[in-house]
Amino acid sequence: MANQEPTDPSHALFDLFVGAKTCRDVQQHFSALCVQLQVDPKDYRVFYSKLKERLNYWKAKALWVKIDKRASHKDYQQRKACAKNKCLVLGAGPCGLRAAVELALLGAQVLVVEKRASFSRNNVLHLWPYTIYDLRGLGAKKLYGRFCTGTLDHISIRQLQLILLKVALVLGVEVLTAVEFQGLEEPSGNKGWTAKLHPNPHPTLVFEFDVFISAGGGSFLPDGFKHKELRGKLAIGITANFTNRHTAAEAQVAEISGVARIYNQKFFHDLLTQTGIDLENIVYYKDDTHYFVMTAKKKSLLKKGVIKQDYSDAEQLLARENVDHDALWRYAYEAANFSTNRQLPDLEFATNPAGRPDVAMFDFTCMHRAEHASLVRERRGKKLLMGLVGDSLVEPFWPLGTGIARGFFAAFDTAWMVRSWGLGIPYLKVLAERESVYQLLSQTTPENTNKNYTSYSIDPTTRYRHVNLSAIQVHQVQQLYDVNDKS
């Protein structure tokens, strides 16, 4: 059955949608499928059930089984918990999309805006066991056959975005790409909260919302939120991607799931003596690309000419004009080659969207963490619930691979907050509970979170082992309610 070409055009379109490898193709095949089946995604309340009803195809049914199982969880109240809410999600990174999926499962109308036109990040994310379980439950394996095959516990950022985009679309989420969020517009006249978008996708039809979720990544913070700086000792991260031709010889080379200096002194000593490269740690994942992430010592970067001049200020040190890119490529190449015992044949850089070798250097010396995760703004009697998820909330240290695991936790916690909002729980209580849960996020590890993944839901008590939902009291979050009645 699996090898038969479908004769029904909608089946063929579904196959194209599932197999699409770029953001644009996903969107185009999805639109064509909707036209073919005469289902309108704008009809978000009934879209998924109509799609299911009209697409009687065994491959699609396998996906519906997964999604139905997820959607039947009591927390979603048959997709009615947030039936009256409209949510704007900023950013179609993995965390924005993961949050959007949950909001759609709660029954909200969801619009995602993403300023990039394509998903192009080759870099690979480490997945904690629960994230694999979670994604499988959303049908990841049906949407990307190679998802976490065997012992693999990672995925490229791009591929994860594609999976989540497909799930989001199926659930009736509207996703606008190449559209930049430029700020919130306060209510005026009869109009509620809206956003300034560029270019304006709906000049005549304005999307009003009562929930705004910001998932704009590490460098984006909406008005009203503040970042705390966590300054550690100098930490310079380098990522490098090489073409994976998926040959038998490449398959033989073992991954390095994380080797740190304290655990393998000999490896780092040999690396230094043989190549002059001095690292704190290195990770190698074989994914769509051969992906390496390492933390390099400043002295060796200076010695190898990667950094031209020494500065005590990390920003100045790693400023574009102070980095010799050819030397950086050589550094990353040698480190990758040495750490894989020179067994990867014809090591060749994969390219980034600019067509250059996909190698980058990042400063992890100063990490950001939002001071709080939520806030409510009120103007002209109209309240807006705002929340942060993903890197915008807590910036991860990539070599430790905490980004997606904590990012998804925050997406679930945020969905739980929106659920409480939708159910009419007093807003200060909603904020107090969200901030209580947020206190735990930065300490979560695979070891100190609940191991029973089957019980996981958006309810924080199913995931955090010792969570006190009233750790922060209502009177402590008064400042997170921003009201200006004079406006």
Q: Site residues (CB under 6 A) for ligand FAD?
A: 90-96, 113-116, 121, 123, 125, 157, 180-181, 215-217, 220, 239, 293, 390-392, 396, 398, 401, 403-404, 407
Residue 310 C-beta-side C-alpha neighbours within 13 Å: 9
Q: How far is the CB of 91 from ligand FAD (least distance, A)?
A: 3
A 10 A CB-CB count for 18 gives 18
Least CB distance from residue 176 to ligand FAD, whole Å?
9
**Structure-token pair, residue 33:** 């499928």
SS3 call for 438: helix
Q: Which is nearer to ligand FAD, 60 or 99 (CB)?
A: 99
Least distance from C-beta 222 to ligand FAD, angstroms?
A: 9
Show Cβ contacts of residue 328 under 8 Å, excluding neighbours closer than 6 positions.
238, 306, 359, 361
Cβ proximity to ligand FAD: between 55 and 215 the closer is 215
List the structure tokens of 113. Answer: 């805006």
Least gap, CB of 168 to ligand FAD (angstroms): 13
Closer to ligand FAD by CB, 114 or 459: give it. 114
Count of CB atoms situated within 10 Å of the CB of 22: 14
CB of 94 to ligand FAD, least distance (A): 5
Query: CA quadruple 84, 29, 131, 409: dihedral positive or negative?
Result: negative
- Contact between 46 and 38 (Cβ < 8 Å): no
Let me know if 258 is exposed, middle or buried by CB neighbors in 10 A (0-12, 13-18, 19+). Answer: middle
C-beta of 126: minimal distance to ligand FAD in Å? 6
In the bound complex, what is the minimum distance in angstroms from residue 320's beta carbon to ligand FAD?
A: 15
- How far apart (Å, rounded) are the C-alpha atoms in residues 35 and 180? 27
For ligand FAD, the closer of residues 91 and 187 by Cβ is 91
Buried b (16+ CB within 10 A) or exposed e, 36-52: bbebebeebeebbebbb
Q: Which is nearer to ligand FAD, 33 or 441 (CB)?
A: 441
Return the number of the residue (95 or 108) whose C-beta is nearest ligand FAD. Answer: 95
Q: Which of 199, 381 has the CB closer to ligand FAD?
A: 199
Residue 134 CB, shortest distance to ligand FAD, in Å, is 14
Whichever of 393 and 480 has its CB closer to ligand FAD, that residue is 393
The answer, yes or no, to whether the previous bond of 201 is cis (omega within 30 of 0) is no
Q: Could you give the CA distance from residue 398 to residue 238 in angstroms, rounded to a whole number?
A: 10
Task: Report the C-alpha gap between 29 and 35 in whole angstroms.
Answer: 10
